């Protein structure tokens, strides 16, 4: 593999570029008009404009992206996360051009990309799933009938969704009726698939995921778990490993279940099985993310491995670099997603970044999407950077994170840095006793965050 096109933007494009260049691989970046001045564009070997700022006119322009890849002689395309990363049609088109898609095969993307089909596959494999509907729900009358059988509260979800988008908690029939058409509309707009389904809402739950890797020779390993329970609007903002509350017995059961899930579909490359865990440590399959995760750096910090390098090696036809008993978990890592957003209302805060500075600590890395002078536009997720902190244990990692984040300075846009300082000082977080509802009613600078 000598040349890779990165079909993405921002911090994940920067992250992939870093490993490619370390391996001596030439890189092709793509950018929209809104992103032409971002750091990753300058870091690539060569970069090409793909269109106007809206994603439908730029980063989802499959034909334009494929034409660039063919014309420039790309050996492979790395989709990053989001955008086209789990688009089975795009992966198939890449394969048909004789270019390597850095991820699983298109048929696996298709199967796991449909959450209803994925649920059925996991049930057949013997993996526990959240109680819910076995088929998509076409009408509001059908949804109400099924929800009454499952029992409220329920989660109404987009079958083709992900990343916390297209999800709505419904406390009763009235809220389900109100949310039904809106959720179908969002599903259609974001994923091109208006199908929705219903799952039981598990209260006081934790969101824990298992990182997996498989190669083309049937070898599959796990790289331990990440706890992603600190969320706003069903989207993760803090992730850590190991999970502070899992017992070793439950951890091993979850890893075994994740391996079973991956083996059931002959999974290749990087993937993640996401579970919901209740207060009694019963765990249930939520979905399979068939791509690199935003929080993959957490796993890198506790294993000492480069997951993008593993992706490239496996996509090149090599076997997994390590067997299961050769992979160690060392210390504790926590990731913080710094967003350009109001830390109280969680609303995006577009604008020009007039200052962006941060300290340099041992055991801390920062992946930037933007730098001083760049503008955050309303067209994309407002993720500015990720800060990943590692230390010998969780207590030390929390203290290091406090020290580091208080020294990060970003001006020109609002950020959620005050939220992180608030969370790190919270006794329940410090003790590891938190669930996905942690941010509900939390206060930042004296004001409720929701």
Residue 115: the pLDDT is 84
Contact 38, 58 (CB under 8 A): no
pLDDT above 90 as % of the chain? 84
Co-location of 253 and 373 in the same domain: yes
| CATH code for position 56 | 3.40.50.20
- Across 186-316, where does the E strand assignment appear? 196-200, 206-214, 220-232, 235-241, 269-277, 283-289
Give whichever of 153-162, 277-286, 400-409 has the largest mean pLDDT. 400-409
Q: What is the pTM of this model?
A: 0.92
Q: Is the pLDDT of residue 448 over 50?
A: no
113: nearest Cα among 77, 151, 79, 75: 79
Co-location of 237 and 373 in the same domain: yes
* 110 within some domain: no
Co-location of 183 and 267 in the same domain: no
Of 56, 84, 102, at which residue does a domain stop? 102
For residue range 48-87, what is the model confidence (pLDDT) as tens digits? Answer: 999 999 999 999 999 999 999 999 999 999 999 999 999 9
Residues in the chain: 450
Of 177, 200, 223, at which residue does a domain stop? 200
* 301 within some domain: yes
For residue range 228-282, what is the model confidence (pLDDT) as tens digits? Answer: 999 988 889 999 999 999 999 999 999 999 999 999 999 999 999 999 999 899 9
| Number of domains within the chain | 3
3-state secondary structure 84-146: CCCCHHHHHHHHHCCCEECCCCHHHHHHHHCHHHHHHHHHHHCCCECCECCCCECCHHHHHHH
SS3 299: helix
Co-location of 258 and 186 in the same domain: no
Co-location of 188 and 82 in the same domain: no
Of 200, 222, 257, at which residue does a domain stop? 200
d(CA 416, CA 405): 11
Distances (CA, A) of 336 to 52, 94, 281, 333: 30, 33, 25, 10
| CATH code for position 373 | 3.30.470.20
Given the residues 291, 297, 337, 394, the one annotated as active site: 291
* 117 within some domain: no
pLDDT interval class at 162 (50, 70, 90): low
The CB-side HSE value for 50 (13 A sphere, CA atoms) comes to: 29
Residue 442: the pLDDT is 55
Q: Is 291 a catalytic residue?
A: yes
* 41 within some domain: yes
d(CA 209, CA 229): 10
For 8, the domain range is 3-102
Alpha-carbon torsion (27, 55, 107, 124), positive or negative: positive
Q: Is the pLDDT of residue 386 over 50?
A: yes
Co-location of 377 and 421 in the same domain: yes
Contact 179, 170 (CB under 8 A): yes
Co-location of 22 and 138 in the same domain: no
Co-location of 336 and 441 in the same domain: yes
| CATH code for position 143 | 3.30.1490.20
Contact 272, 288 (CB under 8 A): yes
Co-location of 88 and 147 in the same domain: no
Residue 450: the pLDDT is 38
d(CA 242, CA 228): 11
Q: Tell me which DSSP letter residue 364 carries.
A: E
- Over its C-alpha atoms, the chain yields an Rg (Å, rounded) of 21
pLDDT interval class at 114 (50, 70, 90): confident
Q: State CA 393 to chain mean position distance.
A: 24
* 121 within some domain: no
Contact 240, 227 (CB under 8 A): yes
* 90 within some domain: yes
Co-location of 242 and 328 in the same domain: yes
* 429 within some domain: yes
Co-location of 275 and 257 in the same domain: yes
d(CA 121, CA 288): 11
Say which residue the tokens 């989709």 belong to. 79
* 109 within some domain: no
Co-location of 336 and 237 in the same domain: yes
Residue 441: the pLDDT is 59
Residue 233: the pLDDT is 82
Q: What value does the mean pLDDT take over residues 130-139?
A: 86
Residue 190: the pLDDT is 76
Higher-confidence residue: 17 or 450? Answer: 17
């Amino acid at each position: 593999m000598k040349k890779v096109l990165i079909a993405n933007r921002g911090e994940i494009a920067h992250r992939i570029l870093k490993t490619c260049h370390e391996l001596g691989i030439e890189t092709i970046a793509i950018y929209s008009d809104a992103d032409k001045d971002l750091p990753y564009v300058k870091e690539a070997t060569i970069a090409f404009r793909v269109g106007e700022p809206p994603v439908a006119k730029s980063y989802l322009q499959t034909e334009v992206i494929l034409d660039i890849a063919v014309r420039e002689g790309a050996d492979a395309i790395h989709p990053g996360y989001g955008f086209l990363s789990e688009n089975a049609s795009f992966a198939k088109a890449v394969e048909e051009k004789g270019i390597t898609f850095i991820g699983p095969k298109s048929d696996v993307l298709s199967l796991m990309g449909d959450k209803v089909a994925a649920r059925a596959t996991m049930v057949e494999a013997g993996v526990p799933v959240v109680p819910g509907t076995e088929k998509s729900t076409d009408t509001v009358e059908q949804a109400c009938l099924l929800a009454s059988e499952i029992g409220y509260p329920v989660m109404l979800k987009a079958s083709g969704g992900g990343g916390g988008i297209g999800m709505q908690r419904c406390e009763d029939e009235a809220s389900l009726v109100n949310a039904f058409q809106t959720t179908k509309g969002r599903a259609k707009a974001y994923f091109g698939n208006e199908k929705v389904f219903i799952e039981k809402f598990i209260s006081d739950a934790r969101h824990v995921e298992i990182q997996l890797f498989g190669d083309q020779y049937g070898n599959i390993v796990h790289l331990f778990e990440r706890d992603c329970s600190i969320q706003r609007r069903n989207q993760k903002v803090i992730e850590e490993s190991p999970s502070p509350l899992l017992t070793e017995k439950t951890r091993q059961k979850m890893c075994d279940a994740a391996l079973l899930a991956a083996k059931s579909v002959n999974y290749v490359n990087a993937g993640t099985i996401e579970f919901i865990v209740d207060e009694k440590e019963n765990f249930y399959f939520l979905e399979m993310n068939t791509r690199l995760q935003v929080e993959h750096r957490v796993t890198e910090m506790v294993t000492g491995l480069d997951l993008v390098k593993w992706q490239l090696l496996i996509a090149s036809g090599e076997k997994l670099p390590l067997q299961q008993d050769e992979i160690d978990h060392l210390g504790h890592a926590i990731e913080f997603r710094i967003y350009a957003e109001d830390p109280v209302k969680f609303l995006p805060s577009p604008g020009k970044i007039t200052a962006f500075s941060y300290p340099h600590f041992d055991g801390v890395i920062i992946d930037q999407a933007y730098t001083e002078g760049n503008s955050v536009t309303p067209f994309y997720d407002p993720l500015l950077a990720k800060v990943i902190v590692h230390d010998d244990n969780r207590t030390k990692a929390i203290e290091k994170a406090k020290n580091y984040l208080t020294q990060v300075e970003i001006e020109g846009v609002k950020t959620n840095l005050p939220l992180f300082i608030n969370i790190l000082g919270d006794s329940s977080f410090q003790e590891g006793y938190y669930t996905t509802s942690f941010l509900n009613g939390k206060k930042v600078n004296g004001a409720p965050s929701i």
